[in-house]
């Protein structure tokens, strides 16, 4: 079986390992993916936007310890400018920490992360759809892969047909903050992803968990919510999900979600578990779960310096 654990936004507290309460959950997977929602670099200056996040390079060993790959497709990896972004990519390369959803130019930014596990090729494509669009990678400009319909269709088809990915996860950074139900655009885009070959869609950004849907038998997790992330005070924003997808050799898929309860320092602790059999594939209507019953971890690193 190939397991894929994906985690939500992580805001890293480097003085003490903020992942420690999830060490077992994160390690017991063949592949562990997180969204790195900050820049790791001492270079650059904060750009003109409401919140800017960066972490020191001491954060890198923690990423390496827990994650197989991180997504840099989000609205914070560009917070300190292009030079800081590229400096982070260089550091990730030096530490052999794979990343996806961003790169030194358009082509690199749109490449999927692929790893073969137990005879199956698992692929992950990351896209950012939340402003500022200045973070977008262009032909000769570093940045994130922009969540554009044409790019997404092209990326999925390339992964499935040219790169022979058996199981493809699309990992979009999207949606409106603090909205517990996905928007019409998220729903439309998720359908386009699955219509073109995605096997699962796992999203984030809204700081809260959103609903889960099944479309053509494929799960859509619109938002995993926060994971390692401080600065929030209410229960919804201090609840995230660690999603675990398990693939059987016959190609069937199972998933479950572990709730993460985030303390005042931004450190998540394991909460309740919800399994895939809590919802029926025969009922493709919106499945709204109680947010207090679910949790996934989203990987976001931030330091307030």
Q: Check residue 276 and report its DSSP letter.
A: G
Residue 205 interacting with Zn ion (CB under 5 A) = yes
Residue 256 interacting with Zn ion (CB under 5 A) = no
Residue 75 interacting with Zn ion (CB under 5 A) = yes
Secondary structure (3-state) at 133: helix
**β 218-221/212-215 pair status:** antiparallel
Cα separation, 290 vs 170, whole angstroms: 24
Cα separation, 206 vs 284, whole angstroms: 23
Structure tokens at 231: 């600065």
CB of 205 to Zn ion, least distance (A): 4
| 50-58, 73-81, 214-222, 234-242 -> range binding Zn ion (CB under 5 A) | 73-81
Total of chain residues touching Zn ion, rule CB under 5 A: 3
Residue 207 interacting with Zn ion (CB under 5 A) = no
Cα separation, 32 vs 201, whole angstroms: 15
Residue 110 interacting with Zn ion (CB under 5 A) = no
CB of 177 to Zn ion, least distance (A): 8
| 71-79, 99-107, 185-193, 282-290 -> range binding Zn ion (CB under 5 A) | 71-79
**Tokens 């390369």 appear where?**
93
| 180-188, 198-206, 234-242, 266-274 -> range binding Zn ion (CB under 5 A) | 198-206
Among 90, 96, 125, CA closest to 6? 125
Q: Which residues contribute to the site for Zn ion (CB under 5 A)?
A: 74-75, 205
């Amino acid at each position: 079986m190939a397991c894929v654990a994906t985690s939500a936004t992580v805001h890293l507290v480097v003085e003490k390992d903020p992942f420690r309460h999830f060490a077992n959950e994160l390690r017991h997977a063949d592949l562990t993916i997180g969204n790195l929602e900050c820049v790791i670099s001492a270079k650059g200056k904060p750009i003109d936007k409401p919140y800017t996040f960066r972490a020191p390079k001491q954060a890198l060993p923690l990423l390496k310890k827990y994650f197989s790959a991180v997504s840099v497709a989000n609205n914070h990896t560009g917070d300190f400018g292009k030079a800081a972004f590229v400096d982070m990519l260089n550091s990730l390369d030096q530490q052999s920490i794979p990343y996806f959803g961003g790169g030194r130019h358009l082509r690199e930014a749109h490449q999927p992360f692929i790893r073969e596990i137990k005879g199956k090729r698992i692929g992950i494509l990351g896209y950012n759809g939340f402003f500022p669009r200045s973070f977008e990678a262009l032909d000769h400009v570093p940045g994130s892969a922009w969540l554009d319909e044409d790019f997404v269709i092209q990326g999925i088809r390339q992964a499935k047909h040219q790169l022979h990915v058996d199981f493809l996860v699309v990992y979009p950074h999207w949606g409106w903050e603090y909205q517990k139900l996905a928007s019409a655009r998220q729903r439309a885009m998720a359908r386009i992803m699955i219509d073109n070959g995605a096997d699962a869609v796992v999203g984030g950004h809204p700081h809260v968990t959103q609903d889960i849907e099944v479309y053509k038998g494929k799960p859509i997790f619109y938002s995993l919510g926060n994971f390692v992330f401080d600065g929030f005070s209410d229960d919804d924003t201090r609840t995230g999900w660690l999603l675990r997808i398990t693939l059987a050799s016959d190609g069937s898929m199972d998933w479950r979600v572990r709730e993460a309860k985030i303390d005042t320092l931004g450190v998540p602790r394991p909460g309740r578990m919800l399994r895939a059999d809590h919802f029926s594939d025969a009922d493709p209507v919106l499945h709204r779960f109680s947010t207090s019953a679910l949790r996934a971890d989203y990987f976001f690193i931030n330091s307030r310096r």
